[in-house]
Each structure stands twice: as structure tokens, then as C-alpha cells.
């Protein structure tokens, strides 16, 4: 009988969720939905020293913003909880003891000084990677080397100890990663990792395996940085006797710096001016602020679409996918093996596509809100006309206001460079006559009638319109460039255009 697909995102609350973590969550979500399974979230907070207040809320808010909230989580428990490892603390010890019983783990009593002395000894003997392993454990203080009575006495007297896994000396460990294919590692390269710490807390490795087993996880989809731990995890499944329900692994390729040289870091984002976090974050200790995609004006659906393509593609040239379409198209075998370069230009491109495809009424609401914050009220109908005119010129919603500010607020200054080049007697004559013509205009003032009136005025004055067009724009908008000017006139209305022209004629001295 095939099991229900259950996948988990298992972040540690050690700071803001990095964009790579959000991608991991997204791929887990997509896979779960595609397979008709469940997407869980488990907080891995066994390392109390690295706990950062606010990090858990940040994770929750990020996933909710993107519409990929887990079905089971600390905030919405299912029936395999608790969903925070710190709250499962008591569960783990019996599993560590079970491994000792089966001969796959042991107590180790070495002090920090003894461990350090071992490392120094090995380093002096030119061992490249000094570690506690199948060879060195024979020279250390543990339940494999000490007499049984001493071990018992130490445990009874409350001597501090850890529990370490006993890695077999000679064993080929294999796993068939869904992305990377067969991975084989010889056990002699693995160390006897700590499973239970002296404070009674499990380490990541023990807690992760026990929880994935108890939570019925069928597929572990996580970042490539965990691939080196996977052989140990496979051994643990075997030691526990859980091989038949061991999850399948899929290790996701790294997110690389834009130039492809190394892993994408927060510093790259700071240096190149883009966020690497989904939401703004203020470090609770240092007070340092980090920008987020949300606050920079990325739309959640655009950001999701961008993220999905950082390491996956549908196999054809389609790029715009809604969340539902991503679920439909998603398969693990289309995730690439090699790292993906982070390209912020692509993120902007997705945002533009999504922004432009939004109904004008919706964009109008964005504009109205931004304008209101600046003290300008826009009637709904006018907002729609304005966004239709400027939406192809913006990447972020806030730019709707920047791009149309000149329509809503008459210029009080004029671009002096454009004025120096284009403001001349012909322009002044034409504009003077056009203002008069506008006063007498009756009928519907739209882009077509605005233009034909301007053309006939120019003709009557014997002026070539092409030569003075930029001066006309300058007079009405204060700037040398912008969206279609006749559409702007239509939105402003004939009286406002005439008024602005007269103000410009009054303000700008004639040069040449």
C-alpha cells in the first residue's frame, strides 16, 4: 500500500528566513500538493544557544504572505505534534538509549580539554580532518573503552556525558537522491556524531530522524548543505530498524551569487542592492535592518513564480505560472543538479509582468492609496485612466505614484536642461495660441481631439510640431519625457492643460 505523501519544512529559528529557505518551503509545498499529500512545518530549535526571538513569527508570516502556509505546524497542530522540537525534548532520550542497547551508540565522558588534546595529537600527526571516529574512539573515555562498572558509576554519580553514534568501520553507505542519483560514501569517512548533548537535548541529527519517522515523512526535500549529513541519516534509519519507511531524499541545488562564484549571502544583496529575505527584518540584538522583497514592492505571486524558477523549470519556454499552475507542472525530476545563479533582473521582470496583468481597478487602488498618503485624492475613474497610461513604465506599485505624480500635481518647476535646449519663440507662440484654442474648445476632449487641435494650431502658426513637441511637454508636465502626451492631456482636461500652459509661459523666459 502506498503511503500518503507527507513532506516537511524544518527551519531553525536562528534569524530571518533566507530566500533559499523560502524556496525549500515552496518546493515542499508544490510537491505535497502535486501528490495530493500534506505539507508540514517543524521548528528545529534544539540548539538553544542559537535561538533568535521573532524568527519563528517571521517564518510564519513569510509563508502566509506567499500563500504557502503549512497544513500542520506549531500554529496549527495535526496529530503528530508537538511541532517544536524543544517541546518534544523528553521523547528523544529513549531513542538514543535504544541505539545504545542495540550497540549502535555509546556514552562518551570526554571533557572539552580531552577532546582538544585529541585534536592536537591528530593535527600534530598530520591528520587532515581530526575527528572522533572508529579509530580515535578506542583512545577516548567512553562506554566502549571504560569498564562497565566505571560507566555505571559515572552515570549514577551524574558525570556529564554525551551519547555518540557508533559508525561502523567498513561499510558502504548508499542513498538514491531524487535529484543527484546514487550517492555512495564509505563509513570510514564519517565521524561518531553526538546524538544527545550533555544538557539532555538531542542534536539536530537525532531529533531530525526521530521526528521525520514519527511524523510519517515520506520525502525529505532540503538544501544541498545537508547532503553530507544524509549518509549518517541513512545509517540511523537502519540502526533504528526503520529502513522500510525511510523517506526518499531530494537535495536542492545551492543558490549562487549573481556571478556564479559561491553561495548567495546577505552581503551580496547589500553590496548589489537587492534583498535576500522575503520580509524586512530587524536584528533583535544588533538592531541591524535587512530589506525584504515584500516591502520593496514585490507582489507575492510574482515572487513565488521567480522563486520556483530558481532551480526548476517546466521543460518548455513558459515562464508565467500561478501557484496552481506550478502545482500542476511541478516534478522533482525537473529540478537541476547544479547551483542556480541569483538574478535580480529576473525578479523585477516577473514583478513587471504580474503588475501589468493586474486589472486596472486593482492598480488604481494602489495608486489611490499612495496618492492619499501624499495628500492627493483621486477619483476612481481617473485613477484607472492614469494606471492604464503608466503601468508599462513601472516595476513596483509605489512607482505608479512616482510616474503619475506630474498628472496629479501641476509642475511648479521646469527641467532646466530641456528648457535650455527646447524653449524658444516658436514654442512660446504655439503654446500661446493653443491655450486660446483650448479655451474655445467644445466637444469631447480626448487624445485624438487634443492632438488635432494642436496640429491645426501649429499649421496656422506655420510651426513644425515635431520641433516644439518637447517644449509642449515641458510646459504641461515640467519634464522632458513621460508617457503619451496626448493621453496625458485627455486625463488633465482642456482647462487644466490651458492653465498649465499659461503658468509655464509666465515662468519660463524665452531663450534664443
Q: How far is CA 462 from CA 112, 145, 438, 458, in A?
A: 94, 106, 18, 6
Q: Which stretch binds ligand GLU (CB under 6 A): 6-14, 120-128, 134-142, 312-320?
A: 6-14
Q: Does 395 bind ligand GLU (CB under 6 A)?
A: no
Measured from the CB atom, is 166 or 222 closer to ligand GLU?
222
Q: Closest approach of Cβ 220 to ligand GLU, in Å?
A: 6
H/E run at residue 44: none
Q: How far is the CB of 260 from ligand GLU (least distance, A)?
A: 23
Q: Which of 76, 197, 263, 266 is catalytic?
A: 266
Q: Which is nearer to ligand GLU, 44 or 192 (CB)?
A: 44
SS3 state at 242: coil
* CA-closest candidate to residue 73, choices 148, 128, 1, 10: 10
Residues 195-234 contacting ligand GLU, CB under 6 A? 208, 222, 226
Q: E strands, 74-210, where?
A: 105-108, 162-165, 172-177, 181-186, 194-196
Smaller CB separation from ligand GLU, 209 or 430: 209
Phi-psi region of 434 (alpha: psi -120 to 50; beta: other; left: phi over 0): alpha
C-beta separation of 275 from 16 below 8 A: no
DSSP character string of 460-493: HHT--HHHHHHHHHHHHHSSS--S-HHHHHHHH-
**Which of residues 50 and 402 has its CB atom nearest to ligand GLU in the complex?**
50
Residues 29, 15, 163: CA angle, nearest 5 degrees: 85
| Residue closer to ligand GLU (CB basis): 175 or 504 | 175
d(CA 123, CA 218): 41
- The cell numbers describing 476, all together, are 504641461
Cell numbers given for 467: 520641433
CB-CB neighbours of 413 under 10 Å: 9
Closest CB 178 distance from ligand GLU, rounded Å: 14
Asked if 266 is an active-site residue, the reply is yes
The span of 7-15, 303-311, 344-352, 438-446 binding ligand GLU (CB under 6 A) equals 7-15
Options 10-18, 193-201, 255-263, 380-388: segment touching ligand GLU (CB under 6 A): 10-18
Tell me the site size for ligand GLU, rule CB under 6 A: 7
CB of 27 to ligand GLU, least distance (A): 12
Judged by beta carbon, residue 47 or residue 496, the one nearer ligand GLU is 47
Scanning 9-17, 53-61, 259-267, 445-453 for contacts with ligand GLU by CB under 6 A, the matching segment is 9-17
Nearer to ligand GLU, 18 or 500 (CB): 18
206 contacts 92 by C-beta, under 8 angstroms? yes
Least distance from ligand GLU to the Cβ atom of residue 249, Å: 9
Closest CA to 427 of 456, 459, 458, 406: 458
* Closest distance of CB 9 from ligand GLU, Å: 7
106 forms beta bridges with 164
Return the closest-CA partner of residue 281 out of 265, 266, 302, 271: 266
Per CB under 6 A, does 10 bind ligand GLU? Answer: yes
CB of 108 to ligand GLU, least distance (A): 24
Residue 44 sits in the site that holds ligand GLU (CB under 6 A): yes
The helix/strand count (H/E) of the chain reads as 20, 13
- Candidates 4-12, 140-148, 330-338, 470-478: pick the segment binding ligand GLU (CB under 6 A): 4-12
Contact positions vs ligand GLU (CB under 6 A): 10-12, 44, 208, 222, 226
- The residues carrying an active-site annotation are 266
Amino acid at each position: 500500500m502506498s503511503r500518503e505523501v507527507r513532506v516537511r519544512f524544518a527551519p531553525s529559528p536562528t534569524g530571518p528566513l533566507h530566500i533559499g529557505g523560502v524556496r525549500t518551503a515552496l518546493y515542499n509545498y508544490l510537491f505535497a500538493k502535486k501528490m495530493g499529500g500534506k505539507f508540514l512545518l517543524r521548528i528545529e530549535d534544539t540548539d538553544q544557544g542559537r535561538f533568535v526571538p521573532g524568527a519563528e513569527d517571521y517564518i510564519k508570516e513569510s509563508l502566509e504572505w506567499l500563500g504557502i502556509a503549512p497544513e500542520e505546524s506549531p500554529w496549527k497542530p495535526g496529530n503528530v505534534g508537538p511541532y517544536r522540537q524543544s517541546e518534544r525534548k523528553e521523547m528523544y532520550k529513549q531513542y538514543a538509549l535504544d541505539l545504545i542497547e542495540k550497540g549502535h551508540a555509546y556514552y562518551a565522558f570526554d571533557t572539552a580539554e580531552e577532546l582538544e588534546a585529541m585534536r592536537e595529537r591528530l593535527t600534530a600527526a598530520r591528520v587532515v580532518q581530526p575527528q572522533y571516529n572508529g579509530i580515535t574512539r578506542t583512545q577516548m573515555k567512553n562506554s566502549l573503552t571504560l569498564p562497565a562498572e566505571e560507566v555505571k558509576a559515572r552515570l549514577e554519580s551524574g558525570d556529564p556525558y554525551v551519547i555518540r553514534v557508533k559508525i561502523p568501520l567498513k561499510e558502504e553507505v548508499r542513498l538514491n537522491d531524487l535529484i543527484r542519483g546514487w550517492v555512495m560514501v564509505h563509513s570510514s569517512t564519517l565521524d561518531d556524531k553526538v546524538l544527545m548533548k550533555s544538557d539532555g537535548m538531542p542534536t539536530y541529527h537525532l531529533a531530525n530522524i526521530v521526528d521525520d519517522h514519527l511524523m510519517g515523512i515520506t520525502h525529505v526535500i532540503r538544501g544541498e548543505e545537508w547532503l553530507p549529513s544524509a549518509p549518517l541519516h541513512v545509517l540511523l534509519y537502519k540502526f533504528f530498524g526503520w529502513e522500510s519507511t525511510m523517506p526518499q531524499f531530494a537535495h536542492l541545488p545551492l543558490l549562487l551569487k549573481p556571478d556564479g562564484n559561491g553561495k548567495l549571502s546577505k552581503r551580496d544583496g547589500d553590496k548589489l542592492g537587492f534583498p535576500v529575505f522575503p520580509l524586512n527584518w530587524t536584528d533583535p540584538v544588533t538592531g541591524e535592518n535587512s530589506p525584504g522583497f515584500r516591502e520593496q514592492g514585490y507582489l507575492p505571486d510574482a515572487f513565488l513564480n521567480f522563486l520556483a524558477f530558481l532551480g526548476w523549470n517546466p521543460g518548455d519556454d513558459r515562464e508565467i505560472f500561478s501557484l496552481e499552475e506550478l502545482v500542476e507542472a511541478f516534478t522533482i525530476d525537473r529540478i537541476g543538479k547544479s547551483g542556480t545563479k541569483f538574478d535580480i533582473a529576473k525578479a523585477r521582470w516577473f514583478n513587471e509582468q504580474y503588475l501589468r496583468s493586474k486589472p486596472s481597478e486593482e492598480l488604481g487602488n494602489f495608486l489611490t492609496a499612495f496618492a492619499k498618503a501624499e495628500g492627493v485624492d483621486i477619483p476612481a475613474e481617473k485613477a484607472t485612466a492614469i494606471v492604464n497610461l503608466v503601468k508599462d513604465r513601472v516595476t513596483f506599485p509605489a512607482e505608479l505614484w512616482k510616474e503619475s505624480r506630474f498628472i496629479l500635481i501641476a509642475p511648479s518647476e521646469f527641467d532646466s536642461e530641456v528648457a535650455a535646449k527646447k524653449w524658444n519663440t516658436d514654442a512660446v507662440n504655439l503654446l500661446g495660441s493653443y491655450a486660446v484654442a483650448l479655451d474655445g474648445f467644445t466637444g469631447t476632449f480626448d487624445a485624438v481631439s487634443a492632438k488635432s487641435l494642436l496640429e491645426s494650431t501649429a499649421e496656422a502658426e506655420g510651426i513644425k510640431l515635431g520641433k516644439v513637441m518637447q517644449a509642449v511637454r515641458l510646459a504641461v508636465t515640467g519634464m522632458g519625457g513621460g508617457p503619451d502626451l496626448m493621453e496625458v492631456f485627455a486625463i488633465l482636461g482642456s482647462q487644466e492643460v490651458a492653465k498649465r500652459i499659461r503658468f509655464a509661459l509666465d515662468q519660463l523666459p524665452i531663450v534664443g
